[in-house]
Structure 1
């Protein structure tokens, strides 16, 4: 089935007649009529009801319209990808992000990379472990993820080069109706599983700094920050979320911060790549990310590493 045939059929369906479909397809009516007959002859069945004036699609064909539209879209994408793969000297760049960073940081990275007209960018999202696996497997060129400053438990082996490109803060927030004037003793919480990065950050960095008289009561648990964000908006409990994710909701009054009552945790935003096997193109892209990335002001951390230095956290 050729893409042009699918688009001819859809043109008749959308316009309601051969004459208007021919105008849409930028050909004369006689030429379009010949194309319609060729389609029918090739497929081996009638697609158009010629008993009606103006001519229309057969009911069975019209019922297939959603599938035809989907097929048309997929064929167009495939044609574009084939064209890109042969015409772009820069090729396709792939990188992965932790889920929350995909929402807040990746658009800035893509914008910086798209200044190169010869490049196509693909972004993958996952938890921290998934991002590292994708990097090790060669499925992505680099990964962007949260790190905890001065955290001695995180270990990037010497095979990796890591550079801090920004910063964020994990802050406790909740719906306005949950905030109380009296000191907190029991905290209804939206928690992260202990086997995901932010769950480990909470267990190691935040929970030990809670007052001894405070009790955490888990109301919901989820691994995705975007889900925790929605739970917090819904008034389910207190969630520790990246400030970059909740800044607008706080400014709009849909969430309130509990930073005066509960601990916060600074986070670094780091780009990570394999140390070996990089070519000149990879190095140029890496420098764009680690030195020239113009993040918004609230994400601009001061890099703590000299240019070209390999960070190894023992």
Structure 2
């Protein structure tokens, strides 16, 4: 039995697709399939029903799903406790944050969170939303900083994770002025986020019932908002970008609104943590952020 098998099981149960789960786990699909088969052989039962449309959990798979999640978290917590006893990483606070928030929001926010009491050591892991979620699920970081929209469900269930709103942002459909002047607004080339992007989930939800209204066709995609902003600045299309990321470009007039404010998407910035107990340093930080939020 290997820990990675349980992590693979959790990923496949979440994504319902061998291809998407393998991508999330950063391994090839054949290798991922072999590890799932190894887990099923070790369990002695089938855990997934495989169909051309994807996978679903068997009754046995559904039964162990929550326990698999708890087991992986306990093992990572055990490792963390051992390191603390040995004097390693006891006071290091680790965060996972999406790329756009790593560049803009995190430095300012962490200074405010310190509030005159500097944190001894901070380690920031910057990745796509999908990558950050996996770091949190695997117990490699105690905190995730990400954009949220109340109407877009998170794969991080309330049973295992809690969060608090620590800031606000807004997605604005932005385009280079020259491109807007030479193209009908509802037929602009579209710069889209990939499935690995949390912002992509939010934009897709907003546009789901409005595809015919805008008639936008994706010409380019990336999970990085900064890449989409660079493409927009080059006049390659319209992209929904966080105001926190594009504030200077908007102020300079290099990027302008493609559509009116009714197409803006309000966002919340959330700090997410597991329900399970964290290290003393992490619990103290969570309490500090909670106190500050309540005072605000």
Task: Using structure 1 for the length normalisation, give the TM-score.
Answer: 0.59
Match of 2:162 in 1: 161
Deviation, 1:134, is 0.9
Q: Distance in 1 between matches of 2:282 and 2:261?
A: 45
8 Å CA contact 1:90, 1:118 repeated in 2: no
Cα 1:292–1:261 change in 2 (3 A) is closer
Report the aligned-residue RMSD: 2.9
Deviation, 1:125, is 0.8
Match of 1:186 in 2: 187
Deviation, 1:157, is 3.4
Cα 1:123–1:181 change in 2 (3 A) is same
Q: Distance in 1 between matches of 2:161 and 2:221?
A: 32
Match of 1:270 in 2: 270
The structure with more helix, counted as a fraction of residues: 2
Cα 1:182–1:229 change in 2 (3 A) is closer
8 Å CA contact 2:197, 2:224 repeated in 1: no
Task: Using structure 2 for the length normalisation, give the TM-score.
Answer: 0.62
8 Å CA contact 2:93, 2:281 repeated in 1: no
Match of 2:97 in 1: 97
Deviation, 1:153, is 6.2
User: What are structure 2's unaligned runs of at least 5 residues?
Assistant: 1-85
**Corresponding residue SS for 1:185:** helix
Deviation, 1:192, is 1.4
Q: Distance in 2 between matches of 1:176 and 1:202?
A: 22
Q: Deviations over 1:222-243 (max 9, x none)?
A: 1111100111111111011111
Cα 1:259–1:284 change in 2 (3 A) is farther
Q: Distance in 2 between matches of 1:197 and 1:117?
A: 30
Match of 1:240 in 2: 240
Q: Distance in 2 between matches of 1:274 and 1:261?
A: 36
Q: Distance in 1 between matches of 2:213 and 2:275?
A: 47
Q: Deviations over 1:99-141 (max 9, x none)?
A: 1111111102332455434611110111222112111222112
Cα 1:260–1:94 change in 2 (3 A) is same
Range moving further from structure 2, 95-104 or 182-191: 182-191
Pairing of 1:24-43 with structure 2 (within 5 A) = none
Bigger CA radius of gyration? 1
8 Å CA contact 1:113, 1:119 repeated in 2: no
User: What are structure 1's unaligned runs of at least 5 residues?
Assistant: 1-85, 294-305, 308-314
Cα 1:201–1:284 change in 2 (3 A) is same
Deviation, 1:143, is 0.6
Match of 1:67 in 2: none
Query: How many pairs are equivalent?
Result: 209
